Amino acid sequence: MNVKGKHYRTIWPTGDGHGVEIIDQRFLPHEFKIEVLRDVDQVATAIRDMWVRGAPLIGATAAYGVAIAMLSDPSDAHLDLVWHKLHDTRPTAINLRWALDDLRQHLRPVPMRARAAQAFARARAIADEDVELNKAIGRHGLEIIKGIAARKKPGERINILTHCNAGWLATVDVGTATAPIYAAHDAGLPIHVYVDETRPRNQGAQLTAWELAGHGVPHTLIVDNAGGHLMQHGRVDMVIVGTDRTTANGDVCNKIGTYLKALAAKDNGVPFYVGLPSPTIDWTVRDGVAEIPIEERADAEVSYVQGLDAAGKVSRVRISPLQTTAGNPAFDVTPARLVTGLITERGVAEASAAGLRKLFPA
């Protein structure tokens, strides 16, 4: 993606090869800041406190975290310690565990003197692979959008609703749910996106809207509870969201509120699609509701909001009474029966065990 005419990924190695640079997403859309991470504790903080977020980006960041850790101590004991330190930061997103397992397996047979270099090379490969997977998701999703366009009058607007941020900022580049949107826009299709604000952290309002504006995609910000109303009145042609973990049976775990959008889509005959790269599939889990751990985050995320104050500075204000506590489950699970299709790098799969096995027989 481009920011004021310059291309950026969300994460990249430092020039000296001893760390990584990231776009610090805590300050978007009002401030664009780049942070340098040079030790594994910083990487763990960046993941836990959501300087970086989104399942694919979390995985890539964890991979670089392992590489940074190998610079100071390449031993097996330290490798295991780092695996646990980073794994404990965000329990729901499966890409985190996938990347950590990949790095540990890759490094075990490597002589300790060569581990840091090998780890950085593997982390770069994971980042590059993420970009290519997302581009492929965009190509397959574009065909779905073209199908919708073909049923409309020439030039008639195609309305897509999305939830949270599954865009460039949630990946290394391009995005998952946004990949088909960008592909359609770049192909000249009249795309318009309804952007859920996505409480409590407002990733839709602060990140997705900022991305779409930067790419020139027409969009409208809506409150989370407006989606069902729009669907009832025929103003949404399709819903497309991302996922932090998808089960072997096609259940989808995504940002809290996704399940409600799927229910509304089902009730109104609106197709509900999920964009996901294959590392987001957890082949060890079948029942998403029963088996996926749902991260409970701090109640302050619900009690406070961040934005620009009257002086034009980023500030944080409380919106609830001081004596009121808040619950903050970060994700929910949408059962496969509510999902029209899973848009992967290999094509569009039916949201079922058979549908996923057809595309991923191994």
Residues 173 and 206 sit within 8 Å (Cβ to Cβ): no
Say how many CA atoms lie within 13 Å of 342 toward its Cβ.
Answer: 34
| The pLDDT of residue 145 | 98
Residue 48 has pLDDT above 90, yes or no: yes
Residue 79 pLDDT class (50, 70, 90 cuts): very high
Residue 93 pLDDT class (50, 70, 90 cuts): confident
**Two tokens, residue 85:** 């330190």
Query: Using one digit for the tens of pLDDT, what is the confidence trace for 279-300?
Result: 999 999 999 999 999 999 999 9
**Which one, of 209, 166, 163, lies nearest residue 54 by Cα?**
166
The DSSP letter of residue 293 is P
Residue 91 has pLDDT above 90, yes or no: no
| The pLDDT of residue 23 | 97
Give the separation between CA 125 and CA 60, rounded to whole angstroms. 9
Give the separation between CA 238 and CA 159, rounded to whole angstroms. 7
Residue 317 has pLDDT above 90, yes or no: yes
Phi-psi region of 152 (alpha: psi -120 to 50; beta: other; left: phi over 0): beta
Residue 37 has pLDDT above 90, yes or no: yes
**Two tokens, residue 84:** 């646990």
Residue 122 has pLDDT above 90, yes or no: yes
CB atoms within 10 A of CB 192: 17
| The pLDDT of residue 329 | 96
Residue 254 bridge partners (DSSP): 332
This prediction has a pTM of: 0.94
Query: Using one digit for the tens of pLDDT, what is the confidence trace for 188-208?
Result: 999 999 999 999 999 999 999
| The pLDDT of residue 151 | 96
The DSSP letter of residue 12 is E
Residue 1 has pLDDT above 90, yes or no: no
Q: Which residues contact 241 (CB under 8 A, 6 or more apart)?
A: 162, 163, 164, 166, 177, 252, 254, 255, 258, 261, 272, 273, 274, 275
| The pLDDT of residue 84 | 96
Query: Using one digit for the tens of pLDDT, what is the confidence trace for 227-277?
Result: 999 999 999 999 999 999 999 999 999 999 999 999 999 999 999 999 999
Indicate if 282 belongs to the active site. Answer: no
Give the separation between CA 77 and CA 72, rounded to whole angstroms. 13
Residue 4 has pLDDT above 90, yes or no: no
Residue 60 has pLDDT above 90, yes or no: yes
- Strands (DSSP E) found in 14-104: 20-24, 33-37
Residues 173, 244, 251, 282: which is the catalytic one?
Answer: 244
Say how many CA atoms lie within 13 Å of 290 toward its Cβ.
Answer: 5
Give the separation between CA 280 and CA 134, rounded to whole angstroms. 12
Give the separation between CA 141 and CA 155, rounded to whole angstroms. 19
Phi, psi (rounded to 5 degrees) for 112 = -60, -35
Q: Which residues contact 272 (CB under 8 A, 6 or more apart)?
A: 238, 239, 241, 261, 262, 265, 266, 334, 338, 339, 340
Provide mean pLDDT across the span 334-353: 98
Residue 2 pLDDT class (50, 70, 90 cuts): confident
Provide mean pLDDT across the span 95-101: 94
Phi, psi (rounded to 5 degrees) for 298 = -65, 145
